Amino acid sequence: MTQKTNLETFFQPRSVAVVGATDQQHEDGSKKPGQAICENILGSGYAGNVYFVNPTREIVLGKKTFPNIGSLPETPDLVVIVTPAATVPGIIEECAAKRVPSAVIISAGFMEAGEKGIEIAKRTREVALSGGVSILGPNGVGVVGKNFNATFLTQAKVGSGNVALATQSGGIMCGLSDLALDDGIGLLKAASLGGMLGVSWKEMLENFSEDPAVAAIVLYMETIGENGRDFLAAATEASRKKMVIAIKGGKSAAAAQATLTHSGGLAGDNDVINAAFRRAALVTARDSQELAWLLEWNKKPLPKGNRLSIVTNGGGPAILAVDELIASGGVPAKLPERMSADLLKVLSPDPERPRAVSIGNTIDIMGDASPDMYEAAVKAALNNPESDGVIITFVPVAVVDAKVIAEKIVPLCEKAEKPVGACFMGERSVGPARKVFHDAGIPVFNDPAVAARMFGRLAEREKWSDEAKEAAIVIQEAILPTTEKNEVDELLQTISDSGRVILTECESKRVLRAYGIPANETVMAETEDAAVVEAERLGFPVVLKLNSFTLTHKTEAGGVALDLKNSDDVRAAFRKIQSSVGVKGFAGVSVQKMETMKGAELILGAKTDPSFGHVIVFGEGGILAEYRKDTAVSLVPVDSIRAHILLEKTRIYSILKDGWRGSVPADISGLQRVIVALSRFLETHSHVDSVDINPLIILGDRMSALDARIILKK
């Protein structure tokens, strides 16, 4: 919505009206949504006035009904609409006339129903905007607030927890509400956004992050929408205040249609969304089970680093936990030497009969460990200055009672200022022990590997948050003279005004050089004779490439000839290229000196994402770029810090940094400068659709774009 929305009218309305209220069931005896919603509102402990609107019924569920919104005795804060889609625009008009601030549209039959539904959706949005009505939906299941359940979910004790949920899937909302309650993590607020005609992710995040009663925010997202930058700003701000967990649906959807540039094809939608999540320091969950585990960790302070101490009485579970921790970006914490020696005296006090304890990257106190030994090991782990969190593992053994262990160490866990989780494995024998931890508000897991993996995920979030704080994103002027930049800016404008969108290779390289991106000299030749003249001027060997205003992938079109050693080679290559592409796609050739530098081939480019605008792609280039798919993505703007992060996310980075089998290490700082230069160019040229530099060849501190293409927006 364009106007400022007070979302509290959705979650805590002073009064509510249901349009489409009914108590008539389907022929098979199942309830209609209008009945379930009415029953849920009445049964949720809601204290405000409830009005039912139904022009064909006088009484619904024992309450008098009203024929329309205008006939209500007061203006409700919220109207819930459960009528056919075609009626919705008119109902929203009634809401506007009555000055109703908010409406939830449960009804389906909008964008998902074809052309007619799209037109109804458009009309609904227009009426809501002009009438000042904030709308949630359509095609959702409703909203949940404290003692307020305006959904057709099964009736549950909502509003008793500290988690806020916004979801594009009503089914996910139904499932997560039950899951959260089963795991003791209640929903304070929940909203089904549905088709998102009105309330946006940005507004939901702002409301949730400003609510002091909300400790964690959960988003189930299938699409971001057009205002991706607004979402990014709100998500970044929200994640500074509390944990924000995102579950992304639709990751396995078919790849987008082929684009005009390699870079566009290599930067998939999910790559862009993952880059956005990292930029905003959001935690990602693959599914509802991971969500529950992450929320479990949220009961204690979140980790400030990635070092985890593991206390265990069984080696195998600890080993699995270490594996998962490292795979998630964490590291096992070691006790300092002095602390390790002191702990060993407690765990193995009799030098004549030493116990086979192990104090290394885990603290393995063995299966016969007593409650006192557990207490000493946990105390050491919690006091370890080189640790950012602790998990306490217990495997059931006959020599000690799990509940006694739990009761012994819970006081330490309650006082801990770092995250600590209890991983008591098994079921029947450890149930009472888990309840001790649960009742004390200590995170409880049944698998230490899971606890370690989720700890690593949360530590990664903290790292991303630090990156955001460090990155000073400022648009700076390019280094080269302003006059040259002005000239290429005029060139871009002239091309755009002519209706052409594809720049030639020569034009593209000229633009890039003006913005500080190195590219080899490339000249145009419209005729065979001109190609020979330019080749002789540049010096053999040379390369000829197709020049075309319509074709972009030159190799596939037979438009590239390499290592031409003399004038006869140039003439033969010119004719072959002309013959291969035909008259329609041929506009001469470009001529450039054959590059003999045996460096690494990289790809650097950009595409326009419909939600987030320009994104930069970097990775291994050359003719196998699309096959290897060793690329990473970053949203624009990119400063030197984010440029380095972009490099580190690729496999080829280690080769560039260290060299490979005697090759010269690449100038990493120089690469960062080139990436930042591309970002600056994109920041000041919104009409650029995509950029493709492939290959960008690098050897030591030498760098050159051997092929480049810029495409403007239509």
pLDDT in tens, 592-629: 999 888 889 999 999 999 889 999 999 998 877 777 78
Same domain, yes or no: 245 and 392: no
pLDDT at 645: 92
What is this structure's pTM? 0.85
> Are residues 611 and 582 both part of a single domain?
no
Contact in structure between 45 and 147 (CB atoms under 8 Å): yes
Nearest alpha-carbon partner for 188 in 154, 211, 167, 210: 211
Has residue 82 got a pLDDT over 90? yes
Within-domain flag for 260: no
- In 497-587, DSSP assigns E strands to 522-525, 542-546, 560-564
Q: What's the rounded mean pLDDT across residues 449-470? A: 85
Distance CA 323, CA 142 (A): 42
Residue that terminates a domain, selected from 593, 613, 633: 593
**Could you tell me if 452 and 324 are in contact, meaning their C-beta atoms sit under 8 angstroms apart?**
yes
**578 and 705 share one domain:** no
- Of the two residues 169 and 84, the one the predictor is more confident about is 84
Please tell me whether residues 566 and 650 are part of one structural domain.
no
CA angle at 338 for the pair 334 and 340, rounded to the nearest 5°: 45
Lowest model confidence (mean pLDDT) among 13-22, 118-127, 208-217, 222-231? 222-231
Q: What is the pLDDT of residue 349?
A: 83
Nearest Cα to Cα of residue 83 among 116, 57, 60, 109: 109
Taking 80 as the threshold, does the pLDDT of residue 160 lie above it? no
146 shares its domain with 239: yes
Cα 145 to the chain's mean position, in Å?
26
- 1 domain-assigned: no
**Residue 474 scores a pLDDT above 60:** no
CA distances for 484 relative to 244, 702, 708, 711, angstroms: 45, 23, 19, 20
Shared domain for 232 and 355, answered yes or no, is no
Q: What's residue 355's pLDDT?
A: 85
Summarised one tens digit per residue, pLDDT across range 361-416 is: 899 999 889 999 999 999 999 999 999 999 999 999 988 999 999 999 999 999 99
Residue 475 located in a structural domain: no
Across the range 427-439, mean pLDDT stands at 91
Task: Confirm whether 107 is domain-assigned.
Answer: yes
Indicate if the pLDDT at residue 183 is higher than 60: no
Which residues have a Cβ under 8 Å from the Cβ of 437 and sit 6 or more positions away?
406, 410, 413, 422, 424, 443, 444
Closest by CA to 124, choosing from 96, 101, 152, is: 96
**Better pLDDT: 56 or 626:** 56
- Give the residue-averaged pLDDT of 109-130: 93
Q: What is the pLDDT of residue 184?
A: 55
**Beta strands, E only, 235-387:** 243-248, 283-284, 307-312, 331-332, 358-359, 363-364
Q: Output the CA angle 261-263-269, nearest 5 degrees.
A: 110
pLDDT for position 157: 54
**Angle, helix 115-131 to helix 88-98, in steps of 10 degrees:** 0
Per-residue pLDDT reduced to its tens digit, 221-243 = 888 877 889 999 999 999 999 99
Q: What range defines the domain where residue 617 resides?
A: 600-712
Least confident of 305-319, 343-357, 667-681: 343-357
CATH code, domain with 529: 3.30.1490.20
Q: Which residue has the tokens 């700003």?
A: 233
Residue 512 lies in a domain: yes
- Average predicted confidence (pLDDT) for the chain: 88
Question: Is the per-residue pLDDT at 252 higher than 80?
Answer: no
Tell me which residue has tokens 């921790």. Answer: 325
Structure tokens at 379: 């105390």
pLDDT surpassing 50 at residue 256: no
How much is the pLDDT for 580? 83
Whether residue 452 lies inside any domain: the answer is yes
Give pLDDT, residue 624: 72
Question: How much is the pLDDT for 87?
Answer: 96
Task: Name the residue with tokens 């949720």.
Answer: 44
Question: Is 2 a domain residue?
Answer: no
Distance, CA of 70 to CA of 79 (rounded, Å): 12
Do 303 and 288 lie in one domain? The reply is no
Residue 348 CA: distances (Å) to CA of 369, 400, 532? 10, 17, 86
List pLDDT tens digits, range 278-287. Answer: 899 999 998 8
Among residues 423, 449, 470, the one where a domain terminates is 470
pLDDT for the residue numbered 644: 92
534-562 pLDDT, tens digit per residue, is: 999 999 999 999 988 776 667 666 789 99
- Cα distance between residue 342 and residue 526, in whole Å: 82
Q: Is residue 393 part of a domain?
A: yes
Q: Give the pLDDT confidence score for residue 483 in this predicted structure.
A: 65
Let me know whether 615 and 637 are in one domain: yes
Whole-number pLDDT of residue 687: 92
- Inform me whether the pLDDT recorded for 468 exceeds 80: no
Alpha helices in 143-221 (DSSP H): 170-182, 201-210
Picking from 522, 509, 573, the residue whose alpha carbon sits closest to that of residue 709 is 509
CATH code, domain carrying 225:
3.40.50.261
Check residue 127 and give its pLDDT. Answer: 96
Q: How many domains does the chain have?
A: 4
pLDDT of the residue at 257: 39
- pLDDT reported for residue 672: 94
* % of the chain at pLDDT higher than 70: 91
- Residue 70 is classified by DSSP as G
Cβ-contact 167, 219 below 8 angstroms: yes
pLDDT at 262: 39
Kindly state the tokens that stand for 242: 């509390």
Rounded CA-CA distance 81/625 in Å is: 51
The string of DSSP letters for 103-145 reads EEE----SGGG-HHHHHHHHHHHHHHHHHT-EEE-SSS-EEEE
| pLDDT beyond 50 at 102 | yes
Nearest to 75 by CA among 53, 41, 99: 99
| 69-75 own/partner pairs: CB under 8 Å, 24+ apart | 69/17, 69/19, 69/94, 69/95, 69/97, 69/98, 69/100, 70/94, 70/97, 70/98, 72/17, 72/98, 74/15, 74/49, 75/99, 75/100
* Last-in-domain residue among 448, 470, 492: 470
Say yes or no: 167 and 278 in one domain. Answer: yes
**Structure tokens, 604:** 């650097």
Tell me if residue 387 falls in helix, strand or coil.
Answer: coil
- At residue 155, the pLDDT reads 59
546 and 490, same domain (yes or no): yes
Based on the fold, state whether residues 275 and 140 are members of the same structural domain. yes
Instruction: For residue 461, give Cα distances in angstroms to 210, 236, 416, 696.
Output: 20, 11, 21, 32
Question: What is the residue whose two structure tokens read 């989720």?
Answer: 454
Residue 409 shares a structural domain with residue 535: no
Looking at 111-115, 514-518, 677-681, which range is the least confident one? 111-115
User: What percent of the chain shows pLDDT beyond 90?
Assistant: 62
pLDDT value, residue 317: 92
Q: Is the pLDDT of residue 634 over 50?
A: yes
Residue 584: how many other CB atoms lie within 10 Å: 9
